[in-house]
Every structure is written in C-alpha cells, then in structure tokens.
C-alpha cells in the first residue's frame, strides 16, 4: 500500500453517479447538470487547498463502463461521493464503484489505521427514501440538512431547476466541497488495488440475486486451550479473538470478514461455532455462510467432534475457509496440523469448498489473498443457498364449484 499524499495524481474526490440516458438523439444531454456540479466542486476545492496548477481536484464517473482510468482513480482518491438517485441504487456499475472504494476502508481498519470517520460522503441528486436504499447506504448515516434544508428536501437536481433556490444551490455545493476537503485530510486513506477485471468485482448493490443475510462462523482455539508448543500471538481469551494474520492485521478474523461481506450488501450474523450455531440447525439453510477453521483445533477432541458433526449435517450453502499464515512458524509447513488431517475429519465440506476456491481450503496464506477469494466464496455459498432453499408456492384459493340455476327461479 502507498500513502495517497505521495501521489500527485490522487484526486480529492471521486464523484460516482448513474448516467441518465437521452430521451432521443436530438435532445439535450440530461447529465450536463451533473457535470456542472462536478466542476463547481473542483473550483471550490482548488480555492480551499494548496493544490498546484494541473493537479486533479476530482474525478467523475460516467456510471457506465469500467476503464483503467476509473479503477486507478478509485484506488487513489481520498473521498468517495456517491450521488444518490433512484437510478443510482439499481446500477451494478455504481455498486461496484462503491464496493471497490469500501475495500480500502476495510483494509485500513484491519491494519489498525481506522479513520475517525467514513470517507464516503453521500450527496443528493434526487432525495431517496431509506426504504429504497440498499443496506450499505442505510448504514451510512449522514445529516444532509447540514448543507441546507432546501437541499435536503430537493437535492441538487431540484435546486438547479427551481430558480428561486439558486443561492441554496451555491451554498450546498460550497459546503459539500468543504466537507470533502476536511474528511480527506482527516481520514488519509492508503492507496488501494487497481483492478482491470470488471466482472470479478462484487457490487454493493444493483443486484437482487442474493438473500439479505449471511452467516459467518469461527472455530478457533483460545490461549487457555492451546496445545503445547503453539505460540499464543494469534489468540485471545475467546475463540472470536483469533487473528491468524497477526501482525499484518489488527482485527480478529471474524470481524475483518464481516466488514468485507457487509460491503456486499448483506446483514452479517457473526458467531463462534458451537452446538447451538445457526449452521447446525436442522432443516433448510437460513442463510448462506462461511466457516473459518483454525487448523490447531484438530488437536482438541471436542473440536474434532464438532467439525465431524458439521461435515454430516451442515448444508452445502456453508463454505469452509482455512487460513494458514505463511509467516506463522506454527503453520502446517512447520509441523502444524496439515490439510490431510482436516480432510480426514470433514471430507464433504472441504470437497464442496474446493468448487468455490481450492485456495480457501488448502490454506489462505495472506490477508490480501483472503480479500481476493472472499467474493468467490460468498458467491459460491449464495449459489448453493438458492439451489437448496425451500420454496413456498402461493396458497391456492378454493372456490365452490359452479351451480346451475333455473332461469325461471330468478324472475
């Protein structure tokens, strides 16, 4: 990762919006007003900062197409500004832009550099009711009235169309620019990865193909139950404290994975695997899920029994992920529990997991590798969930059979 301050091509903000199509070929460009907003923000930011001539104050997405330039600016921008409208939240392109930026915040938090506030600053093009927003947008609480009550009621589009609110428009643009500059200075995000593969990017919204919930379960040792010779650096007083990527990560594995899955627009249920876990409940799966397994639990007979039970009863919508930190002196390459031992205990779930990602069950060596495979694993678990989910056809309404009536009786 690189500090964005050292890169002169890092824009202060990335304006993400859903492109509005022309009604006909001869009509005026319906996106001209968005460009005016973008240019106004850039002008203010040049005045509010010491950016040199030729520096990038911002970058504007067109809401259509994934280019190298777009990906590079997502990886380097300091602040992400989604321009809310009903069209925005049905756009997979915009959802992918949101997801790509969110990964930078998740990774910074994992490495112990959590910003004091969110670097996503939502702006209103058209006000959208919370019920119309995906979960990731509802979770992002923001008081739009701080930019003016008329702005909160009408959005930038309304202010541009109502001439008597022109002053309110200028005020809202200036206040948004000030907020961008302030948040950019305080969050100081590290640079992210530049992705050229559009199709591999999950969307934070814009897709109705997944259920609203996702289960994450962790089975790991605690410091008090470690086998002889196992270093305690990666463990805590609870199984939930397991952090196999220490010291690269400052977060427990379950928390890091939950943060990533939430950016895919799921409500996450995070739990420690025990006999009462949701994944072990009888019947059809309640949600797709991931089980993270610490290989060292194989040294505990009680944990081995629990894994064997999981292998017998867990639905195929549960995918196993096995972290093996390459820097861990107790990994299977240094005499720790190996893949063959785990295979002997839970052969069915490991076989199913390989169809999602062979790496996920053979040993995820780094935090970066986990970030890369997690979308594949989530997608696989979701596909299995839909393939096995119980469907409930609508109840048929019964009516009495028709009865013939003598026409003379109706007179």
pLDDT along the chain (411 residues), means of 10: 50 94 77 95 96 90 74 94 96 92 92 82 97 92 95 97 94 98 92 77 78 94 92 95 95 96 94 93 90 95 96 93 87 73 93 85 91 92 85 48 52 48
Do 194 and 238 lie in one domain? The reply is no
- Report the C-alpha gap between 352 and 361 in whole angstroms: 10
Q: Within this chain, do residues 136 and 51 fall inside the same structural domain, yes or no?
A: yes
Facing residues of 3 across strands? 190
- Beta bridge mates, 124: 84
Buried b (16+ CB within 10 A) or exposed e, 313-339: ebbbbbbbbbbbbeebebbbeeebbee
* Contact present, 188 and 4 (Cβ < 8 Å): yes
Shared domain for 185 and 225, answered yes or no, is: no
- 271 and 336 in one domain? yes
In-domain check, residue 333: yes
- State the Cα–Cα distance between residues 266 and 209, nearest whole angstrom: 12
| 90 and 126 housed in the same domain | yes
Note whether residue 408 is domain-resident. no
Q: Which of 200, 231, 247 is the last residue of a domain?
A: 200
Residue 280 sits in which domain range?
213-388
Question: Is 395 among the domain residues?
Answer: no
d(CA 116, CA 59): 24
**Residue whose pair of structure tokens reads 């994944």 in the numeric block:** 279
* C-alpha–C-alpha distance, residues 274 and 269, integer Å: 14
Is the domain of 50 the same as that of 182? yes
Does one domain contain both 157 and 129?
Answer: yes
Within a domain: 151:
yes
Q: What's the DSSP call for residue 16?
A: E
DSSP state of 330: T
For residue 398, tell me if it sits in a domain: no
Q: Are residues 37 and 142 in the same domain?
A: yes
Specify whether the CB–CB gap between 364 and 295 falls below 8 A: no
Kindly report, residue by residue over 275-319, the tens digit of the pLDDT.
999 999 888 888 999 999 999 999 999 999 999 999 999 999 999
Enumerate residues 6+ apart whose C-beta is below 8 A from 112: 250
Residues 190 and 219 in one domain: no
In angstroms, the CA 45 to CA 178 distance is: 7
Same domain, 246 and 166: no
- Residues 194 and 290 occupy one common structural domain: no
Asked if the structure places residue 48 within a domain, the reply is: yes
Write out the DSSP string of 81-116. EEEE-TTGGG-HHHHHHHHHHHHHHHHHHHTT---S
Domain boundary among 200, 232, 251: 200
Q: Do 115 and 47 share a structural domain?
A: yes
Q: Residues 304, 306, 311, CA angle at the centre, nearest 5°? A: 95
What is the rounded CA–CA span in Å between residue 3 and residue 7?
Answer: 7
Contact (CB, 8 A) for 353 and 360 = yes
pLDDT of the residue at 6: 41
**For residue 226, how many other CB atoms are within 10 A of its CB?**
17
pTM recorded for the entire structure = 0.86
3-state secondary structure 198-253: HHHCCCCCCCCCCCCEEEEEEECCCHHHCCCCCCHHHCCCCHHHCCCCCCCCCCCH
In a domain, 25, yes or no: yes
Number of domains in the chain: 2
- pLDDT tens-place string over residues 312-355: 999 999 999 999 888 888 766 566 788 889 999 999 999 988 88
From 200, 224, 240, the end of a domain falls on 200
CATH number at 219 reads 3.40.50
Residues 52 and 219: beta-carbon distance below 8 Å:
no
In a domain, 379, yes or no: yes
């Amino acid at each position: 990762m690189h500090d964005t301050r050292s890169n002169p091509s890092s824009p202060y903000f990335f304006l993400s919006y859903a492109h509005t199509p022309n009604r006909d070929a001869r009509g005026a460009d319906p996106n001209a007003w968005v460009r005016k907003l973008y240019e106004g923000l850039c002008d203010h930011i040049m005045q509010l900062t010491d950016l040199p001539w030729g520096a990038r104050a911002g970058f504007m997405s067109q809401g259509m197409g994934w280019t190298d330039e777009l990906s590079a600016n997502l990886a380097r921008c300091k602040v992400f500004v989604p321009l809310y409208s009903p069209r925005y939240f049905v756009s997979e392109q915009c959802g992918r832009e949101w997801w790509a930026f969110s990964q930078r915040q998740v990774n910074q938090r994992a490495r112990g550099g959590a910003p004091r506030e969110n670097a996503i600053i939502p702006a209103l093009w058209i006000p959208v009711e919370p019920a119309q927003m995906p979960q990731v947008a509802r979770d992002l609480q923001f008081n739009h009235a701080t930019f003016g009550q008329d702005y909160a009621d009408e959005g930038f589009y309304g202010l541009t169309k109502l001439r008597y609110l022109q002053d309110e428009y200028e005020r809202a643009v200036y206040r948004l620019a000030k907020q961008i500059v302030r948040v950019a200075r305080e969050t100081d995000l590290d640079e992210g990865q530049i992705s050229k593969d559009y199709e591999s990017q999950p969307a934070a919204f814009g897709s109705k193909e997944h259920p609203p919930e996702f289960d994450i379960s962790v089975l790991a040792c605690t410091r008090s139950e470690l086998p002889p010779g196992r270093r305690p650096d990666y463990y805590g007083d609870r199984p939930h404290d397991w952090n196999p990527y220490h010291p690269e990560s400052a977060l427990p594995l379950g928390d890091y994975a939950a943060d990533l899955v939430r950016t895919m627009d799921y409500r996450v249920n995070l739990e420690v695997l025990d006999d009462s876990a949701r994944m072990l409940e009888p019947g059809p799966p309640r949600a797709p899920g991931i089980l993270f397994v610490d290989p060292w639990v194989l040294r505990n007979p009680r944990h081995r029994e629990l894994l064997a039970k999981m292998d017998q009863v867990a639905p195929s919508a549960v995918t196993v992920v096995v972290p093996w930190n390459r820097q861990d002196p107790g990994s299977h390459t240094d005499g720790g529990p190996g893949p063959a031992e785990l295979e002997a205990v839970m052969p069915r779930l490991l076989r199913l997991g390989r169809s999602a990602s062979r790496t996920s069950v053979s040993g995820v060596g780094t935090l970066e590798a986990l970030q890369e495979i997690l979308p594949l694993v989530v997608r696989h678990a979701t596909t299995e969930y839909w393939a096995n989910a119980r469907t409930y056809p609508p109840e048929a309404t019964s009516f009495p059979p028709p009865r013939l009536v003598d026409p003379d009786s109706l007179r």
